[in-house]
Structure 1
Amino acid sequence: MPSAAMAPSAIRKPQRVMARRSSRPATVATRSYLFNRSVRSTPYRIKRASAQTLHFENGWNVLDASGGAAVTGIGHLSTRVEQVMIKTLKRGIAYISSMMFDTDVAEDFARFLITTTDGKMTRAVFYSSGTEANEAAYKVALQYHATEKANPEPTRTLFIARDRSYHGTTLGALDMSGHKARRELYERVLPHNTHHISPCYAYRGLQTGESVAEYVTRLKNELEQKIQDLGPKNVAAFICEPVVGAALGCVPAEAGYLAAMREVCDRYGILLIFDEVMCGMGRTGYLHAWQKEGVAPDIQTVGKGLAGGFQQLSAMLVSPKVNDAFEYGPGSGAFSHGHTFQNYPLACAAGLEVQKIIQEENLLQNVKEKGFRLSKSLKKRLSNHRHVGDIRGAGLFWGIEFVKDKQTMEPFPADMKINWRIYEKGLAPPYEIHVYPGMGTADGVNGDHIILSPSYNITDTEIDAIVDRVARLIEDYFDTLDVPATP
């Protein structure tokens, strides 16, 4: 699962930031009262946003090619979403406690989401962030095995996830994550009941002479071996992103991979969780990323694009198998978990309207068409660049991985902060382009990528502008970078 980019404080010292931002009005205070990701620097101030552009206080007009962290789906302005939110506020139901009450709008949105899965999922619950949704998935998997089944198996408390994955910031979700850099500070207090296997990452994982089918089989065998090593009756669930977001930079599962994981999980009675917080809700050209191969999970989480940034909103969807264990099983039927802002009506109103717009304006088709144009143009412009190792993705979700040596795929060392420096350079003129930076691509620590994930209603002209600006940014950056030869 993805999250906002981590801004290394080491490269954001106050004196550098102030020197670079001398174009800011003198009246702007240099001290921030926000406890930001880096307390030693002041983030850029956004004055307003139009459809696909961020208008900075310092006068820059930045084309938003990443939608934050792949959040923005229909641009930054929508009269329809604004009006439905105002209507909800005027009804006086901006907030209702979900412990005792329900609302039409939350029920309507749940029905909408479940209907789009063609019966593969059967109930939904709404939270405020992808992390919260994955924490709920973690808990529902434990409770499913422990109390709600006809034959309870309380020993199933372990999870299997993949290296270089990201599922959230809370301790449970972070424990499932395989992103070394984001885990490092908290390793001492993590539950450590998640065990990690290799990602499905053909660029670095596919062996010489190995077919994709053979690669998938090898990964399938690795999952099965991990289950046997841990004890089949000890594993609750396997979680993965159908298209890996922030941790790997838009790496799609290879053909047959999701089906292979499904088969292994079914054989051992393990729940399959798909984290679609970053790659779901239309980002790949399918409303649910798993629909491309028709392999449905037992538990699914979505977020980011669910409400397109107009409200903070995520959801967990459960399959009939999971729901039936609670509804008809021997337990109380209660899911022992909840949040103050669960099923938040105002957020559900915004999210439902965003999804209606996506559906009514046929934006999933636009994602496929513009995604093809984006990928084709990126590859034409950058595939032969000496420091571009791989360009991969799906729909409007594309990653560009940078390497020090194109032949050996050697990454740049982490302390060079290539991803972050490209990101920062891109914001300023003459580029004025917003990309999403990622690190740890190669081994969890070293390796750099950027993500391009523009809005679903992007135009051909805007796609061409993104490609031109990103290509010039990358070319200019590496033209001025002194890269020492590999010994």
Structure 2
Amino acid sequence: MTKSEPTTRSAVLHRSTQFVPKKAIGGKGSYLFLEDGTKFLDSTGGAAVSCLGHGHEEVNQALIDQINTISYCHTAFFGTEASEELASFLTESTGGKLSKAYIVSSGSEAVEAALKLARHYFLELPTPQPQRTRFIARKPSYHGVTLGALSVGGHMIRREPFEPLLSKNTSHVSPCYPYRGKTPGESDADYVARLAAELDAEFQRVGPENVCAFIAEPVVGAALGAVAAVAGYLPAMKAVCEKYGALLILDEIMSGMGRCGTLHVWEQEDVVPDLQTIGKGLGGGYAPVSGLLIGEKIVEVLDKGTGAFRHGQTYQGHPVSCAAALAVQRIIKRDNLLENIRTMGAYLEERLRSRLGDHPNVGDIRGRGLFWGIEFVKDRDTKEPFSPETGVAFQIQETGLDPAYGISLYAANGTVDCTRGDHALLAPPYNVTKEEIDIIVDTAGRVIDAVFAKVNAA
């Protein structure tokens, strides 16, 4: 969040009690309008959320229509047309491979549901496996802020204050991070084999019969900055899971629902997850909504068992949220926006590499579709990161928020080892234009130049 000068106290517990952020008073397309008159270019869609931009009249009308029909009913008593239509749309988009959808309000909730359903699956088997209580994830990784989701996450900065509260049933292996993970001369195939061997060894260490699932983002968002898995990685990870009877959970909350050029990232990876979390681009920020897509083999086990998933939430399947998501997804499909993502994504990559590829403090530019990350380094040859005290990520984000630039650059630190390393994300809307991409890259380039002029002079 942007920080403003200290003002009168707010009744809101903002992300810092010491500053009150500027107010956004409107939005249209790729722009937000702030109370100080700034026309702010939302080049990250907030946190890769606003996939259709702001103020889309058709989506707004869908929310109004749903509110006028019914705004809420409890799913313990009733279903709604909105939730049924959204679930049908989503499961059909997977070709029926993931045959049921569980709709909740946030990404963290979706991950919580995935973890609990993975455990529940093993309890519902004809011969139950109650000893399966463990999960394997990666470091650094981020899967949400609730205690269960934070427990499987491997981002030490986010975990640290709450470590005594977190479950001890998760262990972490290396990410698929070719910029820093591959050794000199190592092929992608050899790198994948090494990571698969590491995962296999971790199964053996904790006892393969004890593991519920391996969870990973196919394109890592906030934790690493748009790092896509190399070819063959996800199938290799699923093969290890299947070898030991565990499940594969793909967290596509940030990278999925079109962001990377296909509705589901796994469509590009020759792999189908057992469980998939979705969010952000699902409803484009028009209502709080996320979801869990569930593989048919899990559904069959539940159906032959108790049929129950003991994990109900007050706002699950909320009809207004479902209506918003359905409207967003229908527009993406009708307007062929996946093709625009691929075309404009290629143009964004070309412009980023042209503008920043030779910058002495840009170590790597990576991404897929309209999801791109820039990693910053102190030395390009050694890939040495800046010290955390320099605060490069903070400076990048705050400088972008200055009215002189008026652009969002979603920056984060801990890229290298959960403590050191800085990156920034770009995630413009799916209907972004070539002209807007030019503005995004040119403005981001000016921000980066300004920050490192100051950092390198210090």
TM-score by length of 1: 0.92
CA distance in 1, matches of 2:451, 2:145: 32
Mean Cα deviation higher: 415-424 or 361-370:
415-424
CA distance in 1, matches of 2:319, 2:202: 42
How does 1:240-389 map onto structure 2 within 5 Å?
A: 240-329=216-305, 332-389=306-363
Q: Is the counterpart of residue 433 in structure 1 residue 410 in structure 2?
A: no
Give the SS at the match of 1:265. Answer: helix
Preserved contact between residue 136 and residue 316 of structure 1 (Cα < 8 Å): yes
How does 1:133-212 map onto structure 2 within 5 Å?
A: 133-145=110-122, 147-212=123-188
Task: Give 1:480 shift.
Answer: 2.0
Task: Give 1:414 shift.
Answer: 1.3
Choose which of 64, 73, 80 in structure 2 pairs with 1:103.
Answer: 80
Q: Is the counterpart of residue 214 in structure 1 residue 214 in structure 2?
A: no
Choose which of 96, 104, 110 in structure 2 pairs with 1:127.
Answer: 104
- CA offset digits 1:357-409 (Å, max 9, x no partner): 00000000000000000011101110111100100000000000001111111
Q: Which residue of 2 aligns with 1:417?
A: 391
Give the gaps of 5 or more residues in structure 2: none
Preserved contact between residue 404 and residue 483 of structure 1 (Cα < 8 Å): no
- CA offset digits 1:52-108 (Å, max 9, x no partner): 1111111111111000000011110111111111111111x1111011210111001
Choose which of 27, 33, 53 in structure 2 pairs with 1:49.
Answer: 27
Q: Is the counterpart of residue 40 in structure 1 residue 11 in structure 2?
A: no
CA distance in 1, matches of 2:457, 2:196: 38
- CA offset digits 1:171-223 (Å, max 9, x no partner): 11000001110000001110111100000000000001111110000000000
Q: Is the counterpart of residue 65 in structure 1 residue 43 in structure 2?
A: yes
Give the gaps of 5 or more residues in structure 1: 20-28
CA distance in 2, matches of 1:167, 1:18: 32
Q: Which residue of 1 aligns with 2:372?
A: 398
Count of residue pairs brought into register by the alignment: 458
Task: Give 1:482 shift.
Answer: 3.3
Mean Cα deviation higher: 341-350 or 403-412:
403-412
- CA offset digits 1:215-246 (Å, max 9, x no partner): 00000000000000110111010000000000
Task: Give 1:119 shift.
Answer: 1.8
CA distance in 2, matches of 1:404, 1:96: 54
Give the SS at the match of 2:5. Answer: helix
Give the SS at the match of 2:98. Answer: coil
Task: Give 1:430 shift.
Answer: 2.7
Task: Give 1:294 shift.
Answer: 2.8
Letter paired with 1:31: R
Choose which of 233, 237, 258 in structure 1 pairs with 2:209.
Answer: 233
Letter paired with 1:30: T
Task: Give 1:30 shift.
Answer: 2.5
CA distance in 2, matches of 1:216, 1:311: 39
Give the SS at the match of 1:433. Answer: coil
Q: Which residue of 1 aligns with 2:199?
A: 223
Give the SS at the match of 1:381. Answer: helix
CA distance in 1, matches of 2:393, 2:75: 41
Give the SS at the match of 2:364. Answer: strand
CA distance in 1, matches of 2:396, 2:297: 46
CA distance in 2, matches of 1:483, 1:213: 42
Choose which of 82, 85, 88 in structure 1 pairs with 2:60.
Answer: 82
Preserved contact between residue 64 and residue 434 of structure 1 (Cα < 8 Å): yes
Letter paired with 2:427: S
Q: Which residue of 2 aligns with 1:23?
A: none
Preserved contact between residue 60 and residue 428 of structure 1 (Cα < 8 Å): no
TM-score by length of 2: 0.98
- CA offset digits 1:15-36 (Å, max 9, x no partner): xx428xxxxxxxxx62211011
CA distance in 1, matches of 2:359, 2:56: 38
CA distance in 2, matches of 1:99, 1:133: 19
Give the SS at the match of 2:456. Answer: coil
CA distance in 2, matches of 1:18, 1:84: 38
Q: Is the counterpart of residue 453 in structure 1 residue 430 in structure 2?
A: no
Task: Give 1:429 shift.
Answer: 3.3
Task: Give 1:476 shift.
Answer: 1.7
Mean Cα deviation higher: 473-482 or 216-225:
473-482
CA RMSD across the alignment = 1.2
Give the SS at the match of 1:122. Answer: strand
Mean Cα deviation higher: 427-436 or 220-229:
427-436
Letter paired with 1:67: G
Preserved contact between residue 133 and residue 315 of structure 1 (Cα < 8 Å): yes
Give the SS at the match of 2:353. Answer: helix
Preserved contact between residue 397 and residue 411 of structure 2 (Cα < 8 Å): yes
Preserved contact between residue 28 and residue 56 of structure 2 (Cα < 8 Å): no
Letter paired with 1:305: G
CA distance in 2, matches of 1:107, 1:59: 42
Mean Cα deviation higher: 426-435 or 225-234:
426-435
Give the SS at the match of 2:192. Answer: helix
Preserved contact between residue 389 and residue 403 of structure 1 (Cα < 8 Å): yes
Q: Which residue of 1 aligns with 2:454?
A: 480
Give the SS at the match of 2:215. Answer: strand
Preserved contact between residue 373 and residue 423 of structure 2 (Cα < 8 Å): yes
Runs of 4+ in 1 over 4 A off after TM superposition: none
Task: Give 1:428 shift.
Answer: 1.6
Preserved contact between residue 361 and residue 379 of structure 2 (Cα < 8 Å): yes
CA distance in 2, matches of 1:448, 1:286: 28
Between the aligned residues of both structures, percent identity stands at 49
Give the SS at the match of 2:444. Answer: helix
CA distance in 1, matches of 2:397, 2:360: 19
Q: Is the counterpart of residue 114 in structure 1 residue 91 in structure 2?
A: yes
CA distance in 2, matches of 1:178, 1:94: 38
